[in-house]
A and B are shown apart, each in its own frame.
Chain A
C-alpha cells in the first residue's frame, strides 16, 4: 500500500503545454505513471508526448476516471485552475505553482474542504510512491528518481521539495527506502499539513516510520504535536528543523514564502521543544535521520 496515490492513479496536468510541465509530463511517463493528458485553454487538439491536450478539465472527467490533477499554471491563473478541477469532481489536486497570494489559497482550500477534495501544495513538487507512481515533478528525470527513491517503509513529509529528495535519497542509501513521500509545500497556507497527512501514514501498513523536514514560520509543527498526543499514534517520527540561524534574524524572509520569524512560536527553538515534548525525535543533523529511524524502529 501507499498513501494518496498508487500504481493505478490516473491524472492530468493543468498547464501541460508550459515548458516545465512538458518536462514534468515526460518524467512522469518515463516513470510509468498513468498520465492521461492535460489542459491548456485554446490548445485543444495538440499533443504533448503523444497525449491529448484539451481546453478544459471536463473534457477528461466527462469521458474517463481522473483521480488527480497537477496544477502547473502561472500564479495569476492557479486559483482558477484549482477551482475548475474541484468542480470537475477530481479528488486529489497537486498544486505546484509558487507565489499564489494567500487569500486565494485560503479561498480554494476552504472550497476543497467543502467538496471533500484533498489539496497538496501549493509551492510543492508533488507525491511519489516509489516503484508505483509519481504525481508531479518530484525527483526530476525518471532515472534520477529511481536512484533517490527506493521502495521501502518510511513515509516522508517536507516543506521543501528539494529536501524531500535529499531525505529520500539518504533513506534509500541506508536501505530503509520510502513508502510515500509528499512534498507538502513551502507556503504559509497549504492544503495538507503534517497533522492532516499523519492519519493516512498511520493507517498504511507499509509505513513503519516517518521523516519530516521543517522550517521556521507558521504553526504546523504544533498541530502535529497535538495530533500525536491526541491520536496515540505509535509510529516513530524523526523531524529535522532547518533555518536555526533565522531565530536571530526576526522579520527576514529566507527559503520559502512561509518562512519568516514573526513571533516566538515561529522560531526553530520553540518548535523543537514542542516536537520533542510530543515524543518526536528531532535530528540535530540532516544526515542523522536514517540512523535515528533505525534506532527508533529498534534495529
Chain B
C-alpha cells in the first residue's frame, strides 16, 4: 500500500519530523489560496504514485498565487507514467544548503530492518551505492526490541556527519525508524532531507509503503488519511478487465483466481499458481507468443469460477486462443478445472477444441480430467511434457489459426 507524498508527510508529521509548510489541493483555486497563505515562493508537486515527477513536468515553481494556479491547472491534467495525479501539493520553497537521504526498509538477507543513510541526497540511491559507497551507510536493527536513538546516530555518523547536524538528523532518522516499525511499513524514505541556510533540517520529499497484509492493524491511520480499506495502489491503475476478474474471484470463495493483469497479446492464459505462472508466462514469451493476460489460479477453484474466468478471458478483444497450464498440482483437481474451462468456452460461444490451444495440468484426478478433454477434442498433454514444451505447443497452435 503505497502512500502519496502528502500522506507520507502527514505520517512524518505525527512522528515529530519537521516539514515545510504545505497544502494538499485538488483545484487550481485551492492552489492559489495555498500560495497566498504561504506568502512566498512555492513549489507545486503532482501527487501521483510514480517516480520521475520532475522530469515529466510534474514539479513546478511559482512566485505568486496566480502563477501557482496556472501550474496547478497544468499539473492536475498531466498523466505521469500513465497515472493521473489525485491533486497537487503546494509547498513553501526553501533555499537548501545540503541534501541528505534516509530510508528504512527490510533486508531479507540479514532478516532485519535496515537504515540506509547518505549525505548525498536528491539523487538515485543505487547510483550513490555504486559510485560513492563511502557516502552511504547501512545500519541493521532488530524489530524485536524498542528502537533506540543510538542506532539512528550510528547511521548518520556512519557517513561522517557530526556537530549539530548529527543531532538534528538523528532525531529525524529515529522518528522515521519508529514509524516504520510501529506502522508495519515496507519502506519509509525521506529523499531529500534538506539542511536550510538557517541551519535547520527538514524533510522535503517522502515515500512510504505499508505492508498490505498489515493494513487492517492500522485502520486508525488509514481512516485519518482518508484511505479506503480496499484501495490497492499497484504501480498502474486496474483496467476494466482486471476489475471484472476481481469480481469473478470474489463471487466464489473456493480456489483463487488472482493477480489478473491485462497485456495486449493474442493468447489468453489460464495459468497457476505463484511460481508456475511466472514460469509459464516467461515460457510463452520465450516461444515467441504474446500473452493477453497474466493470472494465478490456485487452491481448488470451483467449476463455475474456472468457467467464468475462461469466459472473461475469451471475451477480451484480440484473444484468439487460450492456454490452460499449470505445474504439477498438489491440491487443485484437474478434472474440475477441465470441466470449468470447457464449460466457459461453450458458454462464450466457442468450440473448446478450437479455442483451447493446449491443456497441461498434471496432478490429482488427471485421468478424469483428460477423459473430459478427450470427449471435447481439446488438445492436452501430461506430466511427461515440460512446461516449456506445452507453452511452445500453445504458441504454435495459436499461429496455425492466424
Question: B-contacting residues of A (Cβ < 8 Å)?
Answer: 23, 75, 99-103, 106-107, 109-111, 125, 137-141, 144-145, 148, 158-163, 165-166, 169-170, 173, 186, 188-190, 193, 213, 215, 218-220, 222-223, 240, 242-246, 249-259, 263-264, 284-288
Interface 0/1 of B221-255, CB less than 8 Å to A: 00000000000001110000000000000000000
CB distance from A192 to the nearest CB of B (A): 10
Contacting residues of chain B (245-289) with chain A, CB-CB under 8 angstroms: 259, 261, 272-279, 281-283, 285-286
Q: A110-B144, A137-B330, A140-B329 are in contact. Are A162 and B275 (CB under 8 A)?
A: yes
Nearest-CB residue, chain A, relative to B384 = A173
Q: Is the CB of B214 within 8 A of A101?
A: yes
In the assembled complex, 8 residue pairs joining A and B whose CB atoms fall closer than 8 Å, in A order, are A99-B213, A100-B213, A144-B364, A160-B276, A162-B274, A244-B285, A252-B261, A287-B387
Known interface pairs A106-B106, A193-B109, A255-B259; 13 further A-B residue pairs with C-beta atoms within 8 A, sorted by A's residue number: A103-B211, A106-B143, A110-B143, A139-B330, A140-B331, A141-B364, A158-B275, A161-B273, A163-B276, A186-B275, A256-B275, A285-B388, A287-B386
CB distance from B284 to the nearest CB of A (A): 9
Contacting residues of chain B (142-160) with chain A, CB-CB under 8 angstroms: 142-144
Question: A-contacting residues of B (Cβ < 8 Å)?
Answer: 106-109, 111-113, 126, 142-144, 181, 184, 186, 211, 213-214, 217, 234-236, 259, 261, 272-279, 281-283, 285-286, 294, 296, 298, 326-331, 362-364, 383-384, 386-389
Q: Is the CB of A242 within 8 A of B111?
A: no
Complex: A164 Cα to B285 Cα, angstroms: 22
**Option from A99, A109, A159 in Cβ contact (under 8 Å) with B111:** A109
**Option from B109, B235, B331, B364 in Cβ contact (under 8 Å) with A219:** B109
Q: Is the CB of A101 within 8 A of B211?
A: yes
**Option from B181, B235, B285, B387 in Cβ contact (under 8 Å) with A166:** B387
Chain B residues near A243: list those with CB within 8 A: 278-279, 281-282
CB distance from B359 to the nearest CB of A (A): 16
Q: Is the CB of A110 within 8 A of B126?
A: no
Which of B279, B281, B389 has the largest number of chain A CB atoms within 10 A?
B279
Complex: A243 Cα to B285 Cα, angstroms: 11
Q: Is the CB of B234 within 8 A of A242?
A: no
